[in-house]
Amino acid sequence: MTDVTVYFQVHQPFRLRRYTFFDIGTSEAYFDDGENERIVRRVAERCYLPMNALVRKLIEKHEGAFRVAYSISGVALQQMERWVPEALASFQDLAATGCVEILGETSHHSLCALTDLDEFRDQVNAQSDRVEKLFGKRPTTFRNTELVIDKRIAKTAEELGFRALLGEGADHLLGWRSPHDVYRPEGCDHLRLLLRDYVRSDDIAFRFSNRTWEEWPLSAERFAKWIHEAPPRDAAVNLFMDYETFGEHQWEETGIFRFFEGMPAAVLRDGRFRFRTPGEVAAEREPVHEMAIPRPVSWADAERDVTAWLGNPMQRAANEALYAVLPAVRALAAAGDPAPQETWRKLSTSDHLYYMCTKWFSDGDVHKYFSPYATPHDAFIAFMNVVDDFGRRARRAAGSLTQAPAPNLAHEAP
């Protein structure tokens, strides 16, 4: 048997408002709640609600033979709880079918694993707690922000109790090996590594509505034929993509919903193939090779590395400025004030650095599509103004914690 795993990333950041130099010292209103509410409501209407209804329909139609997985970022959960609770309820309804796996990730969709492993552990544990509370089961599969993995991240995920890890089937990582095998990351004892088939995944996520693509228009039957061409020895064809592909990035008018509705039946026509969640694959399959991951690998851009977020001086300066505030934020949280930590974590969301990317050509077009700013420099200025103000406030508040009250030297009257 060859397994087909379908995994969706659900994420919406807390976008910043246009915070200027003149706001520093006068305003703590960093986030554009009006815009964040507008966007999450729009995405819920176009994607989350209709796709969740379709996935539920397919689960019932195929009597549980169709199975999928989701990773829902903590900041997306916050926004759904606040502005579109019906969308969150529809995800909970899917999880209750027993055919949907909810994965673990960082609570704020951050790249903290690259800078501070203690913060990484805290965010991962916080997200696992939240998933268990909302969906009734603690996650056992880990998907790091933007599929960023390396040897340290894999080992830390294993130490946190995860049994499976998702990654990108990047050519420079695999070499001669196949993304359809199950691997064990170097340095880990039992963690299973499942790698994305980026060709088949991107056929849906990026090329589906491209009229210049030689395979346009893509039918469910032709896509299933490509899946069926996998050699019999292959363990799993892993299709990982943003959930917003459906209805938001690829509009309903492109036929993306009709395609997805027909895809499970087309795949299942060949009895060698079955749908499984990542956790089920990890539980049922032994690793065939150890995988060395000496440098971070992600699913972004042609390079499949972390240059989408830390590739230019603006991005690195912004990241350094943010993490310079972390000691003050931790001191305040330890003293019983968690609000600055929550603000800091919202600022750690990877999107803020992504908006500062200065890549050109096709990858640059993707970056511009997702950015609410006119230029990467505009994104950098807005972010740095916020970090400047927030850092001053956090350090001032943390400094007051260490200032012991002056002793009372007055003598009482006899």
How far is residue 88's CA from residue 278's CA, in Å, rounded to a whole number? Answer: 22
Half-sphere exposure (Cβ direction) of 109: Cα atoms closer than 13 Å: 25
Q: How far apart are CA 100 and CA 97, in angstroms?
A: 7
Answer whether the bond into residue 179 is a cis peptide, omega within 30°: no
CB 126 within 8 A of CB 333: no
**146 included as an active-site residue:** yes
List phi, psi (to 5°) of 249: -80, -40
Q: How many residues does the chain have?
A: 414
For residue 235, give the nearest of 53, 73, 1, 5 by alpha carbon.
Answer: 1
Q: Which residues of 152-170 are buried (b: 16+ CB within 10 A; e: fewer)?
A: bbbbbbbeeebbbbbbbbb
Cα distance between the two ends of the chain: 92
Q: Is 192 exposed, middle or buried (0-12, 13-18, 19+ CB in 10 A)?
A: buried
CB 359 within 8 A of CB 301: yes
Other CB atoms within 10 Å distance of the CB of residue 126: 15
Does residue 62 contact residue 264 with C-beta atoms inside 8 Å? yes
Residue 409 burial (CB < 10 Å; 0-12/13-18/19+)?
Answer: exposed
Cα–Cα dist 353/338, whole Å: 24
Q: Which of 105, 119, 146, 158 is catalytic?
A: 146
Which positions are catalytic? 146
